[in-house]
Amino acid sequence: MINRFSSFPTEKVKIIKASGLIIDNVDAFMSNNMFLIEDGRLDIEENDIISRSLPNGKTEEYLVIDRGFKRTIGSFPDHYQVIVKKQICNVTTKNKHSQMLSFKDKAIMEKLFDMGTGYVLNLNNSQFRALIAECSDIDVYSNPNYISESSKAKKLRKFWNNENDIVVGKVILELLGVREAIIKSRIEYDSDYNDTLADEALRIKGIAMSMIGDTPLFSSTAERFQADLSAANAVLQDLIKIGECLCTNVAYNEKTDEDTMNTFFRDMLCFKGYEETKDQTRHGLSQSGKGAGEVDLLLTKAGKEIALFEGLKLNGVRSQYIDDHIEKAINNYNALGTATFVVAYVSCSDFGDFWNRYYEHLENYKYGINVKRNIIELTAPNASTKIAQIILSRAEFDFPVYYICFKIS
């Protein structure tokens, strides 16, 4: 059996128990606020401390919030997906802190809310205090957890790192509302003003709506499409990273079957926070027209259907085989207009020549639905990856389709 964990770059950490017992030399992989620990036999509990050493000689400590023991998932054996909180001070909180905001999301919000100099938008202390309190019943100027934070920006950073998803989502939506009013006034003053962060604002709005359990409502089709495109781009970046692991892992080669590589992507996507919807029976017609068709993966995140994944293994441009997969994923299956990713695992001697012929085939493919924007080649992130994108439209609902090729050994 292929060891799925071999694709993760691990490090050695210590687990410090409340009793003082130390479990040393534990192999772990860290991503955002989670440690993936392969050894499911270890005794890990909530309130344990995970300690990791940094290259500069310092250490970081993380409080275990949820030990996250997982039984076998696909080809992963019993293991832990440990949810942690970085220990900065001795203050603790009873609330489960936000799990939906990534480091990238927080970096975007730093820009959206003009936090670089310690401020938050154009809010004064009283306005900022009232906004947070109305959304969360927390006074960030008197609450002991926040008194030591010297600026509005610092208080906001601590707030979104420590409070639960619902109240954080509410605060983010209120701040986006303030920002929208600022942008509107700037446009009224200068008709040539361009909001360079408009796409980023839509992305964060969608995330915040999901945090409070609502489905985002948009003011126009264009606004909805830009939000979907931003979400699809995030999926694309995750697929590229997983593909890099596939391309550099000698366990996956021309002899590996298609289903095994699909399973690798499924397992890695699950680790990154996606969920697989197993019941696809009502989603579309099979190619024979006799029943519901199924793509290889139907992915959701935060309860929202976010992507269709269709994998195929190629050693050449097999036209009918390629067309069958496209037909299944786009024409026979995708009734909702979900972002679609057709991923090819390619074994060939000349990857560049293969891509040129494959791309030409895609240019000439007849979709049977409206092509809103013709296929374009996107910038390749590395020598083993090629990407193209086309925008299709079903019943005036635009959605992106990505064709990705990974060269396997």
Query: Which is higher by pLDDT, 19 or 62?
Result: 62
| 90-94, 225-229, 369-373, range with the lowest pLDDT | 90-94
Task: Note the pLDDT tens digit of each residue in 28-66.
Answer: 988 878 899 988 889 898 878 898 888 877 778 888 888
- The answer to which of 31-35, 137-141, 233-237 has the lowest mean pLDDT is 31-35
Q: Please, what are the domains in the chain?
A: 4-86 (2.40.10), 103-211 (no CATH), 221-407 (3.40.91)
Q: What is the per-residue DSSP string for 234-247?
A: HHHHHHHHHHHHHH
| 231 compared with 5, residue with greater pLDDT | 231
Residue 278 binned pLDDT confidence (cut-offs 50, 70, 90): low
Q: What are the tens digits of pLDDT across the range 179-193? A: 988 988 888 888 888
Work out the pLDDT band at 3, boundaries 50, 70, 90: low
Helix (H) / strand (E) element for 265: namely helix 258-271
Q: What is the pLDDT of residues 146-168, one digit of tens each?
A: 988 889 999 999 999 888 888 89
Q: Which residue has the higher pLDDT, 284 or 167?
A: 167
Helix (H) or strand (E) holding 223: helix 221-248
Residue 127: pLDDT band by 50, 70, 90 thresholds? Answer: very high
String of DSSP letters for 84-99: EEE-SSS---SSPPP-
Encode pLDDT of 359-390 as tens digits.
999 999 999 889 999 999 999 899 999 999 99
**Confidence bin at 288 (pLDDT 50/70/90):** very low
Comparing 210 with 100, the larger pLDDT belongs to 210
Bridge-partner residues for 404, per DSSP?
A: 343, 387
Residue 401: strand pairing partners = 340, 390
Q: In the predicted model, is pLDDT for residue 20 greater than 70?
A: no
* Residue 156 near residue 115, CB atoms below 8 Å: yes
Structure tokens at 333: 């299956």
Sort residue 336 into left (φ over 0), alpha (ψ -120 to 50) or beta: alpha
Q: Which residue has the tokens 């924007």?
A: 373
Four-residue CA torsion sign, 199, 200, 201, 206: positive
CB 210 within 8 A of CB 302: yes
SS3 1: coil
The amino acid at residue 283 is H
Per-residue model confidence (pLDDT) at position 292 = 40
Rounded to a whole number, what is the distance in angstroms from the first to the last CA of the chain? 19
**31 vs 215, residue with greater confidence:** 31
For 362, the token pair is 């895609």
Question: Which percentage of the chain shows pLDDT scores above 90?
Answer: 34
Q: Give the model's pLDDT for residue 204.
A: 87
Model pLDDT, residue 122: 92
pLDDT in tens, 302-337: 567 789 999 999 999 999 999 999 988 887 777 778
Average pLDDT score over the chain? 83
pLDDT value of residue 312: 94
pLDDT digits (tens, 9 = 90+) for 102-113: 777 888 999 999
pTM, entire model = 0.55
The distance of Cα 338 from the centroid of its chain, to the nearest Å, equals 16
Identify the residue whose tokens are 């006074």. 139
1 confidence band (pLDDT: 50, 70, 90): very low
Nearest alpha-carbon partner for 49 in 78, 24, 79, 71: 24
pLDDT at 359 (0 to 100):
97
Residue pair 272/299 in contact (Cβ under 8 Å)? The answer is: no
* Residue 326 CB burial class (10 angstroms; 0-12, 13-18, ≥19): buried
As a whole number of angstroms, the distance between CA 133 and CA 191 comes to 35
Cα 116 to its chain centre, rounded Å, is 25
